[in-house]
Amino acid sequence: MAQPATSTAAGTPTTPNNIDGFVADWSSDQRAFKNVPWGKAMMWIFLLSDTFIFSCFLISYMSVRKSTTVKWPPVSEVFSLSFGGTPIPLILIAIMTFILISSSGTMAMAVNFGYRKDRKKAAILMLVTAAFGATFVGMQAFEWTKLIVEEGVRPWGNPMGAAQFGSTFFMITGFHGFHVSVGVLFLIIIARKVWRGDYDTQRKGFFTSRKGSYESVEIMGLYWHFVDLVWVFIFAFFYLW
Amino acid sequence: MAQQEGQTAHEGQSHPIGVYLKIWALLFVLSTASYLVDYFHLESYLRWSLILIFMVLKAGLIIAVFMHMMWERLALMYAILVPPLLVIVFMAIMAIESGYVFGNRGVFFLVGP
């Protein structure tokens, strides 16, 4: 079987990094992304397509919220939580936001330790990231349960106001939670490879039969940061607006 | 220059850990600020503009530093960051459309079929 092209970058680019270089890079007979491994470029392009999917969700949410004649439910109160005393508005969502940002921080450091070939630290930081992600999904499951069982929110209606609240909420947060869950699995797989030293011993992947490199950790990181990025927009538009 | 450093590094993106910790702290501050917008019940245009400012700052920091976009070459930067701007056009179209639908619904419920 022919050996697939390696994922390593093509070395130092010769074109300048300004607008002329940009035009030259995108001209014919050129490799457009010069010092970027193909896996990373493809992950960026996937994230671009995912951006459009989430944009469509948020724009449809804007459309139904703007066009409904029924009052929108008081989001801040719906998502409040009381710890024995008076309910604190949006506190669960705020904690979820901090958890996701922390997971992004640990992921960024895992990428850094990966490139330094510090396998143990990189793998542990990735597992910490996965644990934060799993905590996030768990809190989301709690939030969904509370909304469905206690508040009686359904995709087709709820007792607090506009029916569109339920449909957009379950669609947007559900799709985001699915992304987080997939990311947790993806993180555990890459962390295992890093821990075992696959990228140092040039061991071939079980699925692709390709040799990996520590760029895989950065590519994983791009996906994870994107999940955090989407949450920034959901938090702003759905929970705070 | 940071720009040069990112390009000549053959081992991929390598930056000091301190950069990530500082951005992490900054993201915490910005998240707290956006939470406080809701906590203090700010209303109307003040609320919306503050939410948008904090959102854009957070998104920018994540893309630029955590996702290393500020150290990438222009060819990748433009390919990824320019297309999402079209979403703003789509958003504007749908904002006009939903305003029209809202108006029609108002007329319908007022006058009847």
Answer whether residue A5 is part of any domain: no
Query: How confident is the model at residue A113, as a pLDDT?
Result: 93
The whole-angstrom distance between B113's CA and the closest CA on chain A is: 16
Question: Which residue of chain B comes nearest to A65, CA vs CA?
Answer: B98
- Domain holding B52, by residue range, is 2-72
CB nearest to A233's CB, from B15, B17, B55: B55
Do B12 and B59 share a structural domain? Answer: yes
Do B51 and B17 share a structural domain? Answer: yes
Do B51 and B104 share a structural domain? Answer: no
Bridge partners of residue A158, in order along the sequence: A161
Strand ranges, E, within B5-108: none
Q: How many CB pairs under 8 A join A and B?
A: 169
Interface test with B, best of A14, A47, A112 (most B CBs within 10 A): A112
d(CA B65, CA A108): 9
Number of domains in chain A: 1
B-chain CB neighbours of A22 within 8 Å are 73-75, 78
B-chain CB neighbours of A51 within 8 Å are 84, 87
Answer whether residue B12 is part of any domain: yes
Query: How confident is the model at residue A77, as a pLDDT?
Result: 85
**Subunit contact A94:B35, Cβ cutoff 8 A:** yes
Do B54 and B27 share a structural domain? Answer: yes
The whole-angstrom distance between A96's CA and the closest CA on chain B is: 11
Do B11 and B52 share a structural domain? Answer: yes
Per DSSP, the residues of A141-160 read HHHHHIIIIIS--BTTBBTT
Q: Which residue has the higher pLDDT, A35 or A94?
A: A94
Do B65 and B14 share a structural domain? Answer: yes
Computed over every residue of chain A, the mean pLDDT equals 89
Answer whether residue B77 is part of any domain: no
∠A60-A62-A65 over CA atoms, to 5°? 105
The whole-angstrom distance between B22's CA and the closest CA on chain A is: 10
Calculate mean pLDDT across residues B29-46.
90
Q: How far is CA A69 from CA A59, A98, A163, in A?
A: 18, 34, 11
Interface test with A, best of B7, B35, B107 (most A CBs within 10 A): B35
Comparing CA positions, the residue from A231, A218, A227 lying closest to residue A126 is: A218
DSSP A12: S
The label of the residue with tokens 């609240």 reads A165
Do B21 and B47 share a structural domain? Answer: yes
Q: Give the domain CATH number at A228.
A: 1.20.120.80
Is the ipTM, as predicted for this complex, more than 0.85?
yes
CB nearest to B87's CB, from A55, A239, A241: A55
**What confidence tens digit (pLDDT) does each residue in A227-240 have?**
999 999 999 999 99
A-chain CB neighbours of B79 within 8 Å are 32-33, 44-45
**Subunit contact B75:A34, Cβ cutoff 8 A:** yes
- Domain holding A160, by residue range, is 32-70+88-240
Do B94 and B68 share a structural domain? Answer: no
CA A33 to chain centre: 23
**Subunit contact A44:B79, Cβ cutoff 8 A:** yes
pLDDT of A42 higher than 70:
yes
pLDDT of A71 higher than 50:
yes
d(CA A127, CA A124): 5
Give pTM, 2 decimals: 0.89
Do B93 and B39 share a structural domain? Answer: no
Number of domains in chain B: 2
CA A76 to chain centre: 24
Do B59 and B21 share a structural domain? Answer: yes
Contact between A101 and A208 under an 8 Å Cβ cutoff? The reply is no
**Subunit contact A233:B39, Cβ cutoff 8 A:** no
Contact between A180 and A4 under an 8 Å Cβ cutoff? The reply is no
Q: Spell out the residues 6+ positions from residue A19 whose beta carbon is closer than 8 angstroms to its own.
A: B74
Answer whether residue B108 is part of any domain: yes
**What confidence tens digit (pLDDT) does each residue in B45-103 have?**
999 999 999 999 999 999 999 999 999 989 999 999 999 999 999 999 999 999 999 99
**Residue B73 burial class via C-beta count within 10 angstroms: exposed 0-12, middle 13-18, buried 19 and up:** buried
Do B13 and B64 share a structural domain? Answer: yes
**Subunit contact B66:A89, Cβ cutoff 8 A:** no
Do B63 and B12 share a structural domain? Answer: yes
